[in-house]
């Protein structure tokens, strides 16, 4: 018997809420949580968890979420169970508070402390929902030591892009859409008309998987494209009904993005113990290319999907990072730094 619309609605937990709940849970325990404990208790996973059943899709979702919160700079640690090294089922995950706290040399005035306390009270009431409290109680019932986390630990989760809601509505109604899309390197946006297939989040950014609408006289289907929502620079116009396109388009889109990520390889030099070294070393797939010999700088190999997005990130580290390859990434970072100098004199 198919689930009711009410029960289906309970399964729809926004991704930012799921990531926030995951960070809260991993901050709340010193000993860490196993994958099974996370999937069965944390908001956003537990609604779809099948005790004793097949949770392969949920486990893949958790793997992607781990990458996302690491990309946000959250220091996620893994701990092997003694005597069972390498066993993913007994591996424990945690976020050490010491690595996520403010530096000791940062202090606040009495007025600033008062305002922060007031904000924390509002945040606490708004964020530690009944679902979060029930999850903490369930963790305790499993014998896991869990304290209510101090809610100064707020993850920097991106809000959904403005294009998300109208595209989501068009997907539900199966409508063709048009929107202006600004491709990097172009001076102006171009109008795109597509059949929406899936909205997916990859490494903290929302993407639209879509099929281009072919010319009226064409007998073939249009090309499949992936659009980054942040590059949609105008309103979404919904049009006529879209032709049926059955299939698991979300999984296909994520697999295609993974392939692009595997092929995209950059080599950078970072200043050791800098913000760039800490953040880039924690990215998914990062490898250190030189031995840890106590040198002032280290060479890292990074994977990426979009050269322009990576250039934006690396340019933000300023002199802490130097791009060695590929040339197009190096040129993109230099262009951003030169523009910053021009803009700020």
Note the pLDDT of residue 109.
72
What's the maximum distance between 2 C-alpha atoms anywhere in the chain? Answer: 71
Please write down the long-range contacts of 183-192, taking CB distance under 8 Å and 24 or more positions apart: 183/231, 184/231, 184/308, 189/233, 189/234, 192/227
Choose the final residue of a domain: 89, 108, 141.
141
Same domain, 120 and 35: yes
64 part of a folded domain: yes
Position with higher pLDDT, 316 vs 84:
316
Domain housing 191: 164-249
Give 19's DSSP letter. H
Please tell me whether residues 61 and 16 are part of one structural domain.
yes
Tell me how many domains the chain contains.
3
Residue 131 lies in a domain: yes
Same domain, 137 and 211: no
Structure confidence at residue 231 (pLDDT): 95
Same domain, 242 and 274: no
Query: 321: part of which helix (H) or strand (E)?
Result: strand 321-325
Residue 242 belongs to a domain: yes
Q: What is the pLDDT of residue 294?
A: 72
Beta-carbon contacts of 288 under 8 Å, excluding residues fewer than 6 positions away, are 281, 298, 299, 300, 301
Is 176 found in the same domain as 131? no
Contact 299, 269 (CB under 8 A): yes
Tens of pLDDT, residue by residue over 9-24, are 445 677 777 888 888 8
Q: Hey, what are 247's tokens?
A: 């299939």
pLDDT tens, residue by residue, 114-134 = 666 666 555 444 444 455 555
Q: What is the pLDDT of residue 173?
A: 92
Per-residue pLDDT, averaged over 86-93, amounts to: 77
- In this prediction, residue 32 has a pLDDT band, given cuts at 50, 70 and 90, of confident
- Per-residue model confidence as pLDDT tens digits over 199-215: 988 887 899 999 999 76
Same domain assignment for residues 85 and 130: yes
pLDDT surpasses 50 at 276: yes
Give 190's strand partners.
181
Cβ pair 210, 194 in contact under 8 A: yes
Do 133 and 57 lie in one domain? The reply is: yes
Residues 130 and 10 grouped into a single domain:
yes
pLDDT at position 240: 93
**pTM check: above 0.85:** no
- pLDDT higher at 138 or 42: 42
Question: Which tokens belong to 288?
Answer: 């250190």
268 and 215, same domain (yes or no) = no
DSSP class per residue in 258-301: HHHHHH-EEEEEEETTSHHHHHHHTSTT-EE-S---S-SEEEEE
Q: 316 in a domain, yes or no?
A: yes
Q: What is the DSSP string of 138-183?
A: HHHHTT---PPPPTT----PPPPPTTHHHHHHHHHHTEEEEEEE--
- pLDDT at residue 292 above 90? no
Residue that finishes a domain, picked among 249, 279, 298 = 249
Q: What CATH number corresponds to the domain at position 229?
A: 2.30.30
């Amino acid at each position: 018997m198919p689930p009711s619309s009410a029960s289906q609605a309970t399964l729809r937990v926004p991704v930012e809420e799921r990531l926030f709940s995951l960070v809260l849970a991993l901050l709340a325990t010193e000993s860490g949580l196993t994958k099974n404990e996370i999937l069965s208790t944390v908001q956003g996973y537990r609604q779809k968890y099948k005790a004793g059943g097949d949770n392969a899709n949920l486990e893949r979702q958790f793997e992607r979420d781990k990458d996302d919160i690491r990309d946000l700079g959250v220091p996620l640690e893994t701990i092997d169970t003694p005597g069972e090294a390498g066993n993913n089922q007994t591996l424990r995950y945690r976020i050490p508070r010491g690595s996520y706290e403010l530096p000791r040399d940062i202090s606040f005035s009495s007025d600033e402390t008062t305002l922060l306390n007031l904000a924390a009270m509002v945040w606490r009431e708004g964020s530690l929902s009944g679902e979060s409290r029930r999850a903490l109680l369930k963790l305790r019932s499993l014998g896991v030591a869990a304290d209510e986390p101090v809610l100064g630990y707020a993850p920097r989760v991106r809000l959904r892009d403005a294009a998300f809601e109208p595209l989501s509505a068009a997907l539900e109604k199966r409508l063709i859409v048009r929107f202006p899309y600004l491709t990097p390197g172009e001076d102006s946006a171009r109008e795109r008309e597509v059949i929406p297939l899936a909205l997916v989040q990859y490494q903290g950014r929302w993407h639209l998987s879509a099929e281009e609408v072919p010319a009226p006289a064409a007998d073939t289907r249009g090309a499949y494209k992936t659009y980054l929502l942040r590059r949609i620079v105008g309103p979404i116009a919904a049009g006529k009904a879209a032709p049926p396109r059955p299939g698991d388009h979300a999984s296909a889109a994520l697999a295609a993005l993974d392939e692009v990520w595997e092929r995209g390889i950059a080599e950078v030099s970072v200043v050791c113990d800098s913000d760039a070294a800490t953040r880039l070393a924690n990215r998914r797939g990062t490898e250190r290319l030189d031995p840890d010999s106590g040198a002032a700088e280290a060479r890292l190999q990074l994977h990426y999907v979009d050269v322009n997005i990576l250039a934006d990130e690396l340019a933000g580290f300023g002199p802490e990072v130097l791009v060695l390859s590929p040339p197009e990434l190096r040129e993109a970072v230099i262009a951003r730094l030169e523009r910053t100098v021009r803009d700020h004199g």
